[in-house]
Every structure is written in C-alpha cells, then in structure tokens.
Amino acid sequence: MKKIPLTMANGKPVDDNQNSLTAGSRGPVLMQDVYLQEKLAHFDREEIPERIVHAKGAGAHGTFTVTNDITQYTKAAIFSEVGKQTRTFTRFSTVGGERGSADTARDPRGFATKFYTEEGNWDLVGNNTPIFFIRDPLKFPDFIHTQKRLPDSNLKSHNMMWDFWSKSPESLHQITTLFSNRGTPDGYRHMNGYSSHTYSFINAYNERFWVKFHLKTLQGIKNLSADEATRLAGVNPDYATEDLFVAIEKGHFPQWKMYVQIMPELEANEYAINPFDVTKVWPHGDYPLIEVGILELNKNPTNYFSEVEQAAFSPSNKVPGIGLSPDKMLQGRLFSYPDTQRYRLGVNYNFLPINRPDVEVNNGYRNGAMRFDDNGGNSPNYEPSHYNVPTESPELHEPPLHIDGDADRYAYDSDANSDFVQAGNLYRLLSENEQKDLVANIVGSLQYAEPMIQELQIAHFKKADLAYGTAIEEGIKNA
C-alpha cells in the first residue's frame, strides 16, 4: 500500500501528528507549533453558526458562596472570605450532538460556569467526567471528527469512533466512564462537574499549587439506563433542558458543593502519575477533597439566545490567584476556545451582556464587527504614553514556571501501561449490575466496528481487567 503523506495546508509534510511541540516533556505548548495552530484554527471554523462541540445546551444564573477558607492556597478575591457571594452563569451541554440532538444521548456533558468576580470573569470550563479521551490537543480535531457524521451518508459511525479509540489506548478510562450508566445522566441536576484539567493556585506569598476542581451534586447522582435514555430521546429529546428549567421555575434550586484537590508545586516532579495528564485522576487517598463553597442555580434565562446561546466560555478567562498548568490539552484549549467564539460570535463577543464582566474593562482593543459601545471614544489605544492610559499591574506577576528541556514533539511521559490501570480500577469499582450494563453498552456499539478494530480494542479492555475484556469479547461473539 502506497504511503499517503499527511501535510499542512501549504503542502508541507507533517512529521508528527500525535504530539504537540512543548518545552521539555512536561513543559507548556509552544507558540511556534504552527501546525497545532493551523489544525485547531481550521477545526474551529468547520461549521457555522452553531458551536462545533457542545452545541446543544441549557443554562441558568446563580450564585457561588464560599463556605471554607482556602486563602492559604490562593489569593483570588472570589475566595477571600467565608460567606462571600459571587454572581454566576452556568451552561450544561452534550458534546458531540447538534443543537437538535437528544439530551439523553450517550455523551460527556459539558459543565461550564462563569464567575463574575471583582477582578474580572473567571470561567471554570469542565465536564461531568474527571478525565478525557485524549491528552494532546493535536489529536482533538481528529477525535471530534469521529463523533460527527460520515461525508457520504451523513450518518454517525460506530466504526469510526472505535477505529480512533483502538489506536488511542489512553482513551480507555474515559470510554469506561462513558459506556457505564454515568454516560447517560438523569438530567443536568443529578450529575457532578469537574475541571478535568489541572490548574494552579497562587497565594499571597506567590507560592504555586496545582489544583483540580470538583463540583458534587447535592441532588444526588442519578443515571439513566440505556433503554430509558433511548426511550426519552424519542419521547422528549429536551428532557434535561426541561428538567432544569422547571425545577428552577418551581423554586427547587439545584446546588453543587465545590471541592479542590491541592498538590504542592514541586510534588508534581516526583508523583507516580503525571499530574498534567487529563486521562488520569489524582487518587483521593493521596490528595483528598477540600471543601470550598456552594454553587446554586436560582434564576432561569429570560431569553435563551441572548443568554445561553451567546454565552462564551474559555479557560483563558482567569483572575489573579488562579493560573494554568502544563496540561497539553488545557494549553490547546486556551487558543481554541476563544478563537471559536471570535469566529462564531465575533471579535467583540466579550461585550455581550452575558459575557461582559461586572468590573470596568480598559484596553486598547478597537473596532471589529458588532462593536456597540463608544469604541473607546477618543482615548489613546496604545502604551507606554505620556498620557493617562491603562497600564500593567506588575504586582500581579505570577511566579516563574520552571522549564527544563529541548523543544520537541514529546509523547506524555506516563508509563504506557498506566493507560489501563485506572480504567481497570473503575471497572472493579462498579457493582455487578453496573458492570453488566457497561459491557452491554459497549457491545451494543463495538459490534458494528470492523473485526480488526474489535480485536485491538478488546485487547485494551483485557489489559485493564481480564474479566472486563473477556465479557465484551463474549458479548460480541453472541451479538
């Protein structure tokens, strides 16, 4: 078979399509990775006008109230004192479906909250799972393509999904979560939310801590069986949207308790698990949950389009005391998310009421489509200047992130076998009935993949847990 070289848009052959260019194996993604930028930028513009991912969603306004002092870890004003309350807007969504798709589809759920803090907007952009399918942003467009439709029939393809997953064994942990009953939550009120990515806290002494965020539902976890999810998709494809809206309308305000896991900065270098690998969790025995506060949703939107559809979230929206990490997927999303919104809503999307911060915005940005304020008037839009113009605040400078390594396309330095460990642990954590449902759900999809793909994927399941893989193997034989 003749090799078909993968190229960039200008025809240049691509040397590595699996790993982003980073500063050392655990360093951040480099701006000079022009292939990553081109791939993500093109991906962001593939569809108009709906979101390329997370297109179907529901949202509500609310509040976040601090219940525990964590100022030893972060100087962020939102957490400055117990009892402090901050205005919020939260959007839930399915990931792969279109705007008209069913709320009960087997799919991860987006869980994004915008906190309108006194230091600007902070967006906590996560999912209802603590992990993800892949860990390098270079693979993100390819992964999402497998969740979309075939170019000839316009139908979705089980074979396409499993082909990608079988060649990306790091996806096994998320697959195990997705095909369990956790993959079909009973509405948005009865599921947890997670940052998934590792972020950082900076405290008043300019010390850095790595952090993961958890939002635990106080309504209790409830999931749907595969049969019930399918039934509801036909009876009421807007089941989760309606459930959230009606609950708030009746005064049954849903709540989530926020927790964090904290890792001192230098421990990341010695920890057995790569703490920036988004396909892995941090065991709670090593880094226990620390309570932070309560998120409550208590006000429905008055106009879905202006509030839910035009809400724009990005992990690049952060405030002093909350920082980033060398998590490669996070680094890729820092570019892709706001770039998508500039394309979808326009370069001035942050001036829309739902996205506009509660604090005054001062910058040199001018013009652009849909500019509807005074456009900066006649004030200078440059600095330095002899005049009274907005200037930097050097006291907010974060401590340096120590990087040591040559710039190259590195695979994650996790042990290859570690891709199977946590998936196996999760399988063994499930009850016998939950294990049966998981296997049945996987068989119901994997049976439509080609035999060579089935064989490789079953081998992955067996590496995670022999009984897990064997049950799927037997299920496909009898399907």
Task: Please answer whether residues 126 and 111 qualify as being in contact, where contact means their C-beta atoms are separated by less than 8 angstroms.
Answer: yes
For residue 413, what pLDDT is reported? 78
Q: Which residues contact 85 (CB under 8 A, 6 or more apart)?
A: 63, 64, 65, 66
d(CA 245, CA 187): 11
Q: Is the pLDDT at 121 greater than 60, yes or no?
A: yes
Q: Which two tokens stand for residue 73?
A: 């870890």
Residue 218 vs residue 41, higher pLDDT: 218
Phi, psi of 283 (to 5 degrees): -55, 135
Beta strand 208-217 with 193-194: parallel, antiparallel or unpaired?
antiparallel
Query: Looking at the annotation, which residues are catalytic?
Result: 54, 127
71: pLDDT confidence band, cut at 50, 70 and 90? very high
Determine contact, residues 371/348, Cβ cutoff 8 Å.
yes
The answer to whether 242 touches 188, Cβ cutoff 8 Å, is no
**Which pair of tokens denotes residue 274?**
């790569």
- pLDDT for the residue numbered 372: 85
Q: What percent of the chain has pLDDT over 70?
A: 97
CATH 2.40.180.10 is the classification of domain 49-360: yes
Mean pLDDT score, 45-70: 85
**Computed over its alpha carbons, how large is the radius of gyration of the chain?**
23
pLDDT in the model for residue 46:
66
Q: Which residue has the tokens 């209790």?
A: 220
pLDDT(290) > 70: yes
Residue 47 confidence (pLDDT) = 56
Tokens of 15: 């040397």
Mean pLDDT of 4-10: 74
Question: CB-based burial of residue 298 (10 Å sphere; 0-12 exposed, 13-18 middle, 19+ buried)?
Answer: middle
Please tell me the total number of residues recorded for the chain in this structure: 479
Per-residue pLDDT at 360:
86
The predicted-structure confidence for 407-457, as pLDDT tens digits, reads as follows 999 998 767 678 999 999 999 999 999 999 999 999 999 999 999 999 999
The pLDDT, as a whole number, for residue 48 is: 47
How much is the pTM?
Answer: 0.91
User: Model confidence over 202-249: pLDDT tens digits?
Assistant: 999 999 999 999 999 999 999 999 999 999 999 999 999 999 999 999
Helix 451-464 crosses helix 418-429 at what angle (to 10 degrees)? Answer: 80
- pLDDT of residue 12 exceeding 70, the answer is no
DSSP bridge pairs for 23 = 407
